[in-house]
């Protein structure tokens, strides 16, 4: 009798143990052991996401030109130049390489230290963020102004490309939290138009006014803010007023309209989306000079076709159409947007 109780008790505990063992096996098989399973799934999901959404930014068709933002010679303004490249779909990579290599002419300035190279570049499609890793030479920027100029030039160059909303910068070997007081760990976006001047109210509309650089070789956009909700003619009137007043005081930029030039009238053809600008005779008071004449026409055209409603600009002088300006520029027909803005060909 005394020997039977231990046998009965032992069999009962053995049965419980076997039931728990089987139950535990079943529970693991059903996936209720959540932490390890989810962690593994998350890692797989992250890997899959990185593989599919983080990639080289490849366009659907090849491009043979790219708009790169360098600087004016005094490094006060960004200077966008259209540059020829070998036909490619990997435009982001090539654009950064062109920016790092510096301008292909002597009338623009580099924005990054000489010797800075591109280590890696990839695009997070879901967020519209492009990641750029540069060599340590990038940290040789001298002061806050140079850092801001370099970051702006990278940001504006890359956000020209479709789908790119923001830019993040990394430096090989470790990115410092800040450089000369400017944080490097955040994303950089186009917070406003290029070369913004004035006070940003935030509720207005931004328009770009185009002036000549210090060497009278390229056009430099200067962005201002105007009240929101204005009609086309009101916006055009404000734009022409700024163009007539000339570039920001104390800057190296040059005016493009001859002294004494006045706008007699503005008319808007909504059907054709053509803006008619009627100047007085002093409009041609410059007398000649093909470079000046080209900048004059381009400044007016770029400024006014920058308004979202305007597709073409018709220049009139004392109410009449002219066939040509003094240096032979054809202005008889309405002028559209400039296709190759600040085109800078490779030196021969």
Give the residue from 102, 221, 95 showing the smallest Cα distance to 161.
Answer: 95
Angle (deg, nearest 10), helices 144-158 and 91-101: 150
pLDDT in tens, 275-319: 999 999 999 998 778 999 999 999 999 999 999 999 999 999 999
Higher per-residue confidence, 18 vs 211: 211
pLDDT at 340 over 70: yes
* Alpha-carbon separation of residue 55 from 154, 168, 171, 308, 312 (angstroms): 19, 14, 19, 33, 38
Tokens, residue 130 = 């492009």
pLDDT in tens, 8-33: 344 443 343 333 333 344 333 333 33
Q: Decide: 111 and 155 in contact? Cβ < 8 Å.
A: no
* Alpha-carbon separation of residue 198 from 111, 223, 231 (angstroms): 23, 9, 22
Share of the chain above pLDDT 90, in %: 77
pLDDT at 251 over 90: yes
* Alpha-carbon separation of residue 140 from 115, 137, 146 (angstroms): 10, 5, 10
Rounded to whole angstroms, how far apart are CA atoms 255 and 237? 17
pLDDT at 38 over 90: no
pLDDT at 57 over 80: no
Please report the domains of the chain, with CATH numbers, ordered by start residue.
63-183 (3.30.300), 205-344 (no CATH)
Beta bridge partners of 88: 63
End-to-end CA distance of the chain: 113
Global pTM value = 0.83
Q: Decide: 134 and 171 in contact? Cβ < 8 Å.
A: yes
Share of the chain above pLDDT 70, in %: 83
């Amino acid at each position: 009798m005394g020997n039977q109780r231990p046998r009965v008790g032992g069999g009962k505990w053995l049965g419980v143990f076997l039931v728990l063992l089987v139950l535990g096996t079943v529970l693991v098989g059903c996936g209720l052991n959540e932490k390890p399973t989810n962690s593994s799934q998350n890692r797989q999901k992250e890997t899959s996401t990185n593989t599919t959404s983080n990639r080289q930014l490849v366009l659907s068709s090849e491009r043979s030109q790219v708009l790169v933002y360098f600087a004016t010679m005094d490094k006060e303004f960004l200077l966008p130049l259209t540059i020829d490249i070998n036909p490619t779909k990997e435009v982001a990579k090539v654009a950064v390489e062109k920016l790092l290599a510096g301008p292909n002419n002597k009338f623009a300035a580099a924005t990054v230290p000489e010797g800075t190279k591109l280590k890696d570049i990839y695009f997070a499609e879901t967020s519209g963020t492009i990641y750029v890793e540069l060599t340590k030479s990038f940290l040789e920027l001298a002061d806050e102004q140079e850092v801001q100029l370099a970051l702006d030039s990278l940001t504006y160059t890359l956000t020209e490309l479709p789908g790119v909303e923001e830019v993040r910068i990394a430096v090989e070997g470790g990115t410092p939290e800040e450089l000369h007081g400017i944080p490097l760990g955040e994303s950089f976006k186009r917070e406003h138009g290029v070369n913004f001047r004035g006070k940003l109210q935030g509720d207005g509309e931004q328009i770009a006014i185009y002036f000549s650089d210090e060497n009278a070789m390229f056009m430099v956009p200067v962005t201002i803010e105007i009240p929101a909700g204005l009609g086309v003619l009101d916006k055009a009137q404000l734009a022409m007023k700024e163009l007539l007043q000339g570039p920001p005081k104390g800057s190296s930029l040059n005016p493009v309209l001859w002294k004494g030039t006045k706008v007699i009238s503005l008319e808007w053809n909504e059907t054709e989306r053509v803006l008619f600008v009627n100047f007085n005779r002093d409009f041609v008071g410059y007398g000649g000079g093909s470079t000046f004449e080209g900048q004059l026409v381009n400044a007016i055209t770029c400024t006014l076709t920058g308004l979202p409603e305007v597709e073409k600009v018709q220049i009139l002088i004392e109410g009449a159409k002219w066939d040509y300006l003094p240096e032979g520029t054809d202005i008889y027909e309405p002028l559209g947007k400039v296709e190759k803005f600040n085109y800078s060909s490779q030196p021969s």
